[in-house]
Structure 1
């Protein structure tokens, strides 16, 4: 029974980390904000956290109630909406209700997803994920932060980072599990014109995030490649992830900017 639980736990950990979204916290209207130009820390990771370069424009406009609606493999998702602005560790984070409109674990768990911008660097921060696995078994997986875009880099230039996540189970017979993810971001194309769902977007940056995650007891790492398209003054317009032989595609349908 212990072995079965451990295998299930490993599967859930992998499912949770693959850049899907999470249920979120309510708006905190009394939060103290700053200008967002400081470089705050995150849970377990990041990558090249030195303050960025000289931004070439705004590739993810961030304001309260901005929202983007995506189709996931052809099915419309709930809006990806900025529901609050939070000051954490001296930096300004923009908090989403979902990321690309997808729920990470449904009713099984929830976490908070945020975005930070700093001199052309764009960060995604996932807070701790709390899981209810049934049969009175719960678990908590620590959060992480990573750089999803550096808008000032030239085509072919890269950045990299590493983060770890530890899952702690309520059953003391199940040991903590720590996974380590190494990732590399690469600028694939800049200044492109891309058509998504019949709409044409200019000044588009295409990038790829390649991940390799090692799990204890498994002989080979789990790999995933995610391609993202960001349009200047619009935000993300498309995302395609390939992992374990499966492909998921998110495409922008509409957006509202404030």
Structure 2
């Protein structure tokens, strides 16, 4: 579930940059219709894929501006070790990345934290949300530091609502299927990332698919432990 954050960090690294952002859109959080991602420390989801199993776990919590954010660790997304949180405000589920610094092949990239709405459980099928991030990017190489600006646009859509899904022999009712397209423009280059997530009521994330640069990664829930 770290895919949104990691994907942006990974794309930034490919372009010899790092990403910081300032969301220019105001957010209407809505009124919750249920708990589609139970958040408590030690909640764990085990996923299976064609490359093996991976664990998504809530490992801690912190208060940010009066809201409890839960830190998540995802074995499938630990390339950069970027600290990552999730939270819920009203009907809106949020993903927040911490300020971080990445060193890759002698290039130091500084990334300022930002936040993206993952989905909203009060929306009906075919409803959408969107936002724009204006990103100041700085990087250092051979003693020189320079900066540029990245533009990130995201559009999310509720594909299905109240679906029933069978995964690995387990039936999940009350499933919300979502899709988010993230478009990043850096130095006249554009990268598009396609993210699809399924969330089951009172269970959490049960399936995800990430498509980027011609490759696709998919995994489905095998088991989960909630506290």
Q: Give TM class, smaller chain.
A: 0.7 to 0.9
Which structure features the higher share of strand residues? 2
- Cα deviations by residue, 1:111-160 (Å, 9 ceiling, x for unpaired): 2110110111000001123212244x422122221000100001111111
Could you say if the C-alpha distance between residues 90 and 189 of structure 1 is closer, same or farther in structure 2, counting changes exceeding 3 Å? Answer: same
Q: Distance in 1 between matches of 2:179 and 2:36?
A: 15
1:1-258 alignment runs, 5 A limit:
10-11=13-14, 44-45=22-23, 48-50=26-28, 52-77=29-54, 79-98=55-74, 101-105=75-79, 109-135=80-106, 137-171=107-141, 172-218=143-189, 221-258=190-227
Could you say if the C-alpha distance between residues 71 and 12 of structure 1 is closer, same or farther in structure 2, counting changes exceeding 3 Å? Answer: farther
Q: Distance in 2 between matches of 1:57 and 1:148?
A: 15
Is the CA contact 1:46–1:147 (under 8 Å) kept in the aligned structure 2?
Answer: no
Aligned CA-pair RMSD: 2.4
Moved more, 226-235 or 139-148: 139-148
- Could you tell me which residue of structure 2 aligns to residue 36 of structure 1? none
Is the CA contact 2:21–2:136 (under 8 Å) kept in the aligned structure 1?
Answer: no
Q: Distance in 2 between matches of 1:46 and 1:188?
A: 25
List gaps (5 residues or longer) in structure 1: 1-7, 18-41
Could you say if the C-alpha distance between residues 62 and 134 of structure 1 is closer, same or farther in structure 2, counting changes exceeding 3 Å? Answer: same
How many residue pairs match? The answer is: 216
List gaps (5 residues or longer) in structure 2: 1-10
TM-score, with length taken from structure 2 = 0.85
TM-score, with length taken from structure 1 = 0.76
Is the CA contact 2:140–2:146 (under 8 Å) kept in the aligned structure 1?
Answer: no
Q: Distance in 2 between matches of 1:10 and 1:210?
A: 19
Is the CA contact 2:132–2:152 (under 8 Å) kept in the aligned structure 1?
Answer: yes
SS at match of 2:35: coil
Could you say if the C-alpha distance between residues 186 and 121 of structure 1 is closer, same or farther in structure 2, counting changes exceeding 3 Å? Answer: same
